[in-house]
Amino acid sequence: MQRVHPRMTRSSLAIAAALTSAALTTTAAVGLAGGDGGAPGTASAAEPTVQPSPTADPAVRTATERATAVLDDADYVAREGDLTRAERQRVRAAARDLRAVVEKANDTAGERRPAAASRSTGRTPLAERASGGSPAATTDKTTDKTVDQAVDQAVDKAAGKRADKQAGRKADDKTTGSKAAKRDVEAAADPTAPTNLPGVANGTTSLTPQDAARLPLLQTPLAEAIDEPADAPEAARADAPTSPATRIEKKTASLERLIATTDAVVSVKAGPTPEEIAAAKKAAEKRKAAKAARAAERKAAAMAEAAKGYGNGEIPSDVLCSVSFAHGERLRCDAAAALEKLNRGFRDAFGRNFDLTDGYRSYGEQIAVASARGGLAAVPGTSNHGFGQAVDLSGGIESFGTAEHAWMVAHADRYGWRHPGWAQAGGSKPEPWHWEYGTRD
């Protein structure tokens, strides 16, 4: 049977077998050392972060900054947007997904306690541990050289041992043939055994590429350091993990598309215009005036009740109310309030206030008027002027047939004022200027 020279070229199968043997030693060494300063068999808990790590790759920092801006938009849309419950949940779920990817990418060794070593990450290469070198001081060129040397040594060592054993078994074939055959069968059954290297003289034919493809390739620092052969299957390249920056960019683009396709309407009310401000101010002033008027009416009603307790011409001045447009004149408070309202209507129609010539008359003033006017004046103590419920007006109202008098006839009764029958044209004593509040004929 043809045997292959032990010194063979390095192939994917040879490297896999050599690394399988080396990985066992590496695992033991790292386990004893407890990783890069961490507790053996433990991993540090990652703290989430939302800001780009100062020690992160520039591409990761750039992707993180863009992702942060999109996350702000997503949070605002989810909070303020006019969305359905399902739409809001989708936006928030996508935002959480992106935030988790950003935090994981920025969880660097420079800011966090490193996790315990695993088979694929966090371990110092075997060649560096054997030489006592520091990982921080090992350059890329030194790493490549160390890897090549380690692989060559592992392959040579495995091939040499196998050649020695084959030579010994040839000398003792007659006595130990059955035992050697048994060992060969067991070794061939274990695809990860260091002695089952293809091309090494082992009494069997070399493994085919199909057999080699089925052999497990352990993930070790040495295996990761060796470049993939140029003829590696395209499927293997497609399965290679994407970079952290690429993952962030993909998640960011996905969230942006979701926001853009979501019918999110954020209601923003424009500030009031100057006209609206003026109208609001006017309305506030109007409400304030109305409130004050209601309070004045309540006070007037209370004081009017108090005035009713006094005799004609005997009402104290502090129980009566003044009239704003007629200095010195006073009336019963409810009559004064009603006349103020009637005067505003008259001013709107004619542009001026009432011309009030006479209001409340005390008993003494009634005597003086009766003396001056004779039979035209009421008997002292009987005039409604003595109760603060009558006024004499001029300014056009004092004459029948004028616009001012006609206006009074049309509007006075709306505010409780009236022109008594005896004072009307054709009455017993016509007085167009005399008007009374709350009286009857």
CA angle 22/28/30 to nearest 5° reads: 100
Q: What is the pLDDT of residues 133-179, one digit of tens each?
A: 444 444 444 444 554 565 466 556 655 655 555 555 555 555 445 55
243 vs 182, residue with greater confidence: 243
Cβ-contact 65, 247 below 8 angstroms: no
Q: Which residues lie closer than 8 Å to 200 by C-beta, 6 or more apart?
A: 4, 6, 8, 158, 159, 162, 163
Supply the pTM of this predicted model.
Answer: 0.40
Which distant-in-sequence residues (6+ apart) come within 8 Å of 79 by Cβ?
none
- Reported as a single tens digit per residue, the pLDDT across 27-38 is 333 333 333 333
Segment 95-135, tens digit of pLDDT: 999 999 999 888 753 444 444 444 444 444 444 444 444 44
pLDDT tens per residue, range 388-400:
999 999 999 999 9
Q: What whole-number distance in Å separates Cα of residue 21 and Cα of residue 157?
A: 11
Is 381 or 188 the better-scoring residue by pLDDT? 381
**Percent of the chain residues topping a pLDDT of 70:** 55
3-state secondary structure labels for all residues of 95-132: HHHHHHHHHHHCCCCCCCCCCCCCCCCCCCCHHHHHHC
> Who wins on pLDDT, 50 or 84?
84
Spell out the domain ranges in the chain.
12-258, 277-437
Strands 390-394 and 417-418: unpaired
Q: What is the pLDDT of residue 12?
A: 42
d(CA 313, CA 55): 99
Give strand pairing partners of 435: 391
Asked whether the predicted pLDDT for residue 6 surpasses 70, the reply is: no
The residue assigned the tokens 């997904």 is 97
* Residues β-bridged to residue 391: 435
Alpha helices in 115-271 (DSSP H): 126-131, 140-171, 173-189, 209-214, 221-225, 234-238, 244-261
The 3-state DSSP class for residue 357 equals: strand
Q: Which whole-number Å values give the CA distances from 283 to 280, 297, 347, 386, 403, in the listed order? A: 5, 21, 22, 40, 33
Exposure string of 142-178, with b = 16+ CB inside 10 Å and e = fewer, is: ebeebbeebbeebbeebbeebbeebeebeeeeeeeee
Q: What is the Cβ-side half-sphere exposure of residue 16, based on CA atoms within 13 angstroms?
A: 20
Rounded Cα gap, residues 122 and 26, in angstroms: 12
CATH number at 277-437: 3.30.1380.10
* pLDDT tens column, 240-274: 568 888 999 999 999 888 888 876 666 555 678 89
CB distance 68 to 99 below 8 Å: no
Mean pLDDT in residue range 216-231: 48
